[in-house]
């Protein structure tokens, strides 16, 4: 479990990742408490379905659970594609901003949520607690083929971002390489977290996109339910909480 504290405009927000039932949350004078991927429901929480990979298993057991096609593509990526994974456990300001720039090109092309300055601040706050892990994979020309970003507390690692420029590539061979690189990076990340004493690799949730859900399932994890949401502490926090709910509902209606 870990907590970051911030002041967003005039609102004090504490965000705690991975609290379990019975966890003692830090005492603070905040307006809002965010609880991310808890294992218990609470009022106002969103239920999230995700995949957990249990890293206490041996590497051979983890490999056996990979889908057949997934295992083949990962093996090809590691043995024939001349690609290399990089893990950064203390990313610099520049490295975080380079990720933001790369991710936002991906997000604009996919028409999904951008990584805003608010999100970058979250990443930097996590980094300052030694809880941010940034990974990427490069080809033999040092061109980045994809990024992953995680929050980790030493026991559980959760995927926050995954992106590549797959859709922007026009050549089928290049798209295939980027696809294998992304799978290879996930596998290398899983092995890195295992080697560094983590017990759970959390894919960060599934989506309504059946393709993404199927992709994540090919790594052999078990389906679990987690809960995420905000709890207002003060009157100000409650008003902001209601505003956020209204704003989200409005976005859903527009879609």
- Indicate the pTM of the whole model: 0.91
Quick one: 58 and 167 in the same domain?
yes
In the predicted structure, residue 211 carries a pLDDT above the cut 50: yes
Output the six-digit token pair for 37.
């991927």
Same domain? 112 vs 191: yes
Task: Residue 214: give its domain's CATH number.
Answer: 3.40.630.30
Dump strand ranges (E) for the chain.
2-8, 11-17, 32-38, 46-54, 84-88, 132-138, 144-152, 156-163, 200-202, 222-232
Both 125 and 200 in one domain: the answer is yes
Residues 57/222, Cβ–Cβ less than 8 Å: no
Same domain, 130 and 200: yes
**Which whole number is the average pLDDT over 43-67?**
95
Digit-coded pLDDT (tens) for 76-135: 999 999 999 999 999 999 999 999 999 999 999 988 999 999 999 999 999 999 999 999
| 195 and 130 both lie in a single domain | yes
pLDDT at 255 over 60: no
6 and 104 belong to one structural domain: no
Total domains, the chain: 2
59 and 32 inside one domain: no
pLDDT in tens, 121-143: 999 999 999 999 999 999 989 99
Length of the chain: 255
Do residues 234 and 193 both lie within one domain? no
Q: Which domain holds residue 40?
A: 2-48+227-254
| Residues 133, 157: Cα–Cα separation, whole Å | 9
Query: Same domain, yes or no, for 131 and 15?
Result: no
Cα 101 to its chain centre, rounded Å, is 17
132 and 235: one domain? no
Based on the fold, state whether residues 132 and 237 are members of the same structural domain: no
Q: Quick one: 137 and 20 in the same domain? A: no
- Given a cut of 80, whether residue 28 has pLDDT beyond it is no
């Amino acid at each position: 479990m870990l907590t970051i504290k911030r002041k967003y405009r005039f609102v004090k927000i504490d965000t705690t990742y991975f609290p379990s039932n019975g966890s003692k949350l830090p005492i603070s004078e905040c307006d809002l408490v965010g609880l991310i991927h808890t294992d218990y429901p609470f009022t106002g929480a969103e239920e999230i379905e995700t995949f957990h990979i249990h890293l206490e298993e041996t590497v051979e057991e983890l490999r056996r659970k990979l889908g057949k096609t997934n295992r083949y593509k990962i093996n090809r990526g590691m043995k024939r594609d001349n690609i290399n994974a990089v893990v950064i456990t203390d990313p610099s300001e520049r490295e975080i901003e380079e990720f933001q720039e790369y991710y936002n090109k991906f997000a604009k092309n996919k028409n999904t949520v951008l990584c805003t300055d608010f999100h970058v601040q979250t990443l930097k706050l996590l980094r300052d607690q030694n809880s941010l892990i940034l990974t990427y994979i490069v080809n033999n020309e040092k061109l980045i083929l994809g990024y992953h970003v995680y929050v980790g507390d030493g026991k559980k690692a959760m995927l926050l971002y995954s992106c590549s420029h797959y859709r922007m590539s026009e050549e089928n061979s290049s798209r295939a390489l980027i696809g294998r690189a992304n799978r290879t990076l996930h596998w290398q990340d899983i092995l890195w977290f295992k080697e560094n004493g983590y017990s759970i690799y959390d894919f960060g949730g599934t989506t309504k996109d059946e393709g993404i859900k199927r992709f994540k399932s090919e790594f052999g994890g078990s389906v679990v339910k987690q809960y995420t949401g905000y709890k207002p502490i003060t009157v100000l926090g409650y008003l902001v909480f209601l505003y956020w709910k209204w704003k989200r509902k409005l976005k859903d209606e527009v879609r």
